[in-house]
Amino acid sequence: MPELRKDPVIGRWVIIATERAKRPSAYVQNREKPKQGFCPFCRGQESHTPPEVLAYRDAGSPHNGPGWWVRVVPNKFPALQIEGPLKRTGEGMYDRMNGVGAHEVVIESPEHNMSLADHSPKQVQEVLWAFRDRVIELKKDQRFRYIMIFKNHGREAGASLDHPHSQMIALPIVPKRVQEEIEGSRRYWDYKERCVFCDIIHQEEKDQVRMIMENASFMAIAPFASRFPFESWILPKEHSLYFHEIQKNQLVDLAELLRGLLARMKEVLEDPPYNFMVHTAPFEHNGIPYYHWHIEVIPKLTSVAGFEWGTGFYINPTPPEDAARYLSGKVADIQEIQASQIH
């Protein structure tokens, strides 16, 4: 069973895979790109995944057969395992916990070569509904304190299969990064009696220099202190704690904006590898006034290097104001290059 271990200095938890432990040679082989052959996520290959936990499918089509447009299955190689109670144990000064959790894969469509940027807004809505439905279901399990929804697009961003999919991991602890955001926004609330994210929305509406796109319910911005070039955040304009409490008209707007942003990134950066993560409040924080859910999108254009690992501090070679101009379509790269060659 996988194991959770806690760093005794920083207090950060790590998931250690103990069963399918990888040997050195596995990493060396990994450097050559694996060939793409058979795909277990394609239409007709349903028997090659664990049985589905959710599928949106044609009426009357059989479970675990074709006829679906979005399908959710447990991960075949889960980072955490669903069975058993939580146990914490010590080993001298060290702490460990058994790796209880859920790890699911959301197959975004039966089409192997269609990413979220290429689909209709309607199909993206269906993927978002699947996220919501699974959160509602998984949060009934009292062992889980947080559910992280994320996507790895492209090998360099950590995707091990090319067929477009997202993932959800239900965790028995509240992760450090989420804890930090909750604490940061609480500190701001204590001082200002306002939500820090609502203030960001207000200032970005006014400044307009980091705005990428917006519609009635959502906005996409290049955040003021972007860690990475072309990092983008999608924020609901209305203050809201939990992604899973999204309303139908808002979900329609979110699908439009997410699809639009990913399509712009695909165009401007020529289909870059990227990650997105849904940041939402832990279940136990029900009712707090100071957190505001949002989505972070990070194209993977630079390497995280020694300075970043050592300091937790980032060097970003593209100011967010420039990123917003390119992503919003206010300026085209090629034009700028030609202009700069004239000087």
Q: What is the closest distance, in whole angstroms, from the C-beta atom of residue 129 to a copy of itself in the complex?
A: 20
Catalytic residue among 119, 153, 165, 292: 165
Residue 317, interface with a copy of itself (CB under 8 A)? yes
* Distance from C-alpha of 136 to C-alpha of 140, rounded to nearest angstrom: 7
Q: First CA to last CA across the chain, in angstroms?
A: 62
By CB under 8 A, the residues from 184 to 213 that bind a copy of itself are 184-185, 188, 196-197, 199-200, 203, 206-207
Residue 219, interface with a copy of itself (CB under 8 A)? no
* Distance from C-alpha of 330 to C-alpha of 327, rounded to nearest angstrom: 8
Count of residues in contact with a copy of itself, rule CB under 8 A: 100
Residue 322, interface with a copy of itself (CB under 8 A)? yes
88 close to 123: Cβ distance less than 8 angstroms? no
Strand arrangement of the beta sheet that strand 294-299 belongs to: 54-57, 68-74, 102-107, 165-171, 146-153, 274-279, 294-299, 232-236, 218-221, 211-214
Maximum Cα–Cα distance across the chain: 68
Residue type, 123: Q
Residue 66, interface with a copy of itself (CB under 8 A)? no
At 5 the three-state DSSP class reads: strand
Q: Nearer Cβ to a copy of itself, position 252 or 269? A: 269
Specify the stretch interacting with a copy of itself by CB under 8 A; choose among 59-67, 114-122, 220-228, 236-244. 220-228
| Among positions 40, 50, 74, 158, the unique one binding a copy of itself when judged by CB under 8 A | 158
Residue 319, interface with a copy of itself (CB under 8 A)? yes
Q: Which two tokens stand for residue 37?
A: 């052959």
Taking the mean position of all CA atoms in its chain, how far away is CA 93?
Answer: 34
Binding mask 4-23 vs a copy of itself (x if CB under 8 A, - otherwise)? Answer: -xxxxxxxxxxxxxx-xxxx
Q: What is the closest distance, in whole angstroms, from the C-beta atom of residue 333 to a copy of itself in the complex?
A: 5
By CB under 8 A, the residues from 88 to 147 that bind a copy of itself are 92-94, 146
| Among positions 38, 47, 225, 287, the unique one binding a copy of itself when judged by CB under 8 A | 225
* Distance from C-alpha of 124 to C-alpha of 325, rounded to nearest angstrom: 25
Burial 258-295 (b: 16+ CB within 10 A, else e): bbbbbebbbebbeebbbbbebbbbbbebeeeebbbbbb
Known catalytic membership, residue 279? no
Residue 329, interface with a copy of itself (CB under 8 A)? no
Residue 59, interface with a copy of itself (CB under 8 A)? no
By CB under 8 A, the residues from 265 to 304 that bind a copy of itself are 268-270, 272, 275-279, 296, 298, 300-304
Q: Nearer Cβ to a copy of itself, position 184 or 289? A: 184
Phi, psi dihedral angles at 23 (to 5 degrees) = -85, 165
Q: What is the closest distance, in whole angstroms, from the C-beta atom of residue 283 to a copy of itself in the complex?
A: 15
Residue 226, interface with a copy of itself (CB under 8 A)? yes
Residue 315, interface with a copy of itself (CB under 8 A)? yes
Q: Which two tokens stand for residue 151?
A: 């996507």
Positions marked active-site: 165
